[in-house]
Structure formats: structure tokens, C-alpha cells
């Protein structure tokens, strides 16, 4: 059983999946769509990946504002969460994704990826960072419980 991480954007969804031991996150792909509100094919592809990777939980990035408020993108992400839960029957956890795109861009810069090619990978890397943050949190929570 694995956990899937998603970075939901206006025309793309970055996808990452954990390893079977729930320790590391790996980028899988970027699902692209022509129009923001056309989600049927996006949801169908996510369902395919859920089956392929035996996913039992989804972590969806929640783009909060820097002052911790929720804007339009966060509202759209919450609507997408509801669609995912209805369509897949899986639990969907919202995870604060502030600065993941900035971190993803920095990672690519340090790796020498040319500026014009970064947009091809940024959503997948952001999904990986979202999922890895969640996996680390789960691991830390489990470790705290073992010490008591």
C-alpha cells in the first residue's frame, strides 16, 4: 500500500507516489489538461495510477497564502479534494504546500536544469515535496508515540 501526493494547478496536476514502506516519495508524472475546469480525464488518470501503484491514501497540496489565509487556489483545491474522495473512495489529506514550487524551482536550478525546461518538471517535483513532507510528518508522529 502506498500514498499518492498531488500538486493541483490550474492546468496541471503533479503526481508523486511513496515507496511501499512509506519512507520516500518519487515523482511519477504531470497530468496536463487544456482547460482548468475539465477534470474528467485528470480524475480518470489519477484512478489509473491509484490502481497501478496500489494507493490507499492521497495527500493533496493546499496552497495557503503566506499569512495563513485561504485564497481562490485553496478553495479550488478543496473542491478538487471532494471530487477525489467521491470518485476514488479514498481518504484525501490536505497538506500545506507553501513554498514547494519555490523549493522545486531551486532544486532544478541547483541541478542545472535550464530555465525554459523547468516548467516541464516543477509540478512533479512539487508533488514529491508535498508527499515527502507528509511522510516525514507521519514518521515523526509514530516515533513520538513509541517514546511514550
pLDDT tens-digit series, residues 10-52: 889 999 999 999 999 999 999 999 887 789 999 999 999 999 9
| Residues 132-146 pLDDT 10s | 999 988 888 877 777
This prediction's pTM? 0.87
pLDDT value of residue 147: 65
pLDDT value of residue 64: 80
CA distance 51 to 45: 10
Q: Which of 44-53, 61-70, 83-92 has the lowest mean pLDDT?
A: 61-70
User: Would you say 5 and 24 are in contact if contact means Cβ atoms under 8 Å apart?
Assistant: no
User: How many other CB atoms are there within 10 angstroms of residue 147's CB atom?
Assistant: 5
The helix (H) or strand (E) run that includes residue 87 is helix 72-88
User: Would you say 76 and 62 are in contact if contact means Cβ atoms under 8 Å apart?
Assistant: no
What is the average pLDDT score of the chain? 88
Q: How many Å separate Cα 101 from the centre of its chain?
A: 11
How is residue 11 written as a grid cell?
492546468
pLDDT value of residue 134: 95
Percentage above 70 pLDDT, the chain:
94
pLDDT value of residue 99: 66
* Residue with more model confidence, 77 or 107: 77
**103 pLDDT exceeds 80?**
no
Q: For residue 148, name the pLDDT band (cuts at 50, 70, 90).
A: low
- 2-147 belongs to which CATH class? alpha beta
Amino acid at each position: 500500500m502506498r500514498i499518492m501526493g498531488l500538486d493541483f494547478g490550474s492546468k496541471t496536476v503533479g503526481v508523486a507516489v511513496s515507496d511501499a514502506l512509506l519512507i520516500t516519495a518519487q515523482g511519477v508524472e504531470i497530468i496536463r489538461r487544456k482547460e482548468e475546469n475539465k477534470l474528467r480525464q485528470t480524475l480518470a488518470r489519477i484512478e489509473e495510477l491509484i490502481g497501478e501503484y496500489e494507493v490507499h491514501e492521497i495527500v493533496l497540496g493546499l496552497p495557503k497564502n503566506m499569512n495563513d489565509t485561504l485564497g481562490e487556489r485553496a478553495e479550488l483545491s478543496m473542491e478538487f479534494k471532494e471530487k477525489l474522495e467521491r470518485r476514488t473512495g479514498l481518504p484525501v489529506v490536505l497538506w500545506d504546500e507553501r513554498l514547494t514550487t519555490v523549493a522545486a524551482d531551486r532544486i532544478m536550478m541547483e541541478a542545472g536544469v535550464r530555465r525554459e525546461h523547468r516548467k516541464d518538471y516543477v509540478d512533479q517535483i512539487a508533488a514529491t515535496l508535498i508527499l515527502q513532507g507528509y511522510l516525514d510528518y507521519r514518521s515523526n508522529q509514530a516515533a513520538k508515540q513509541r517514546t511514550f
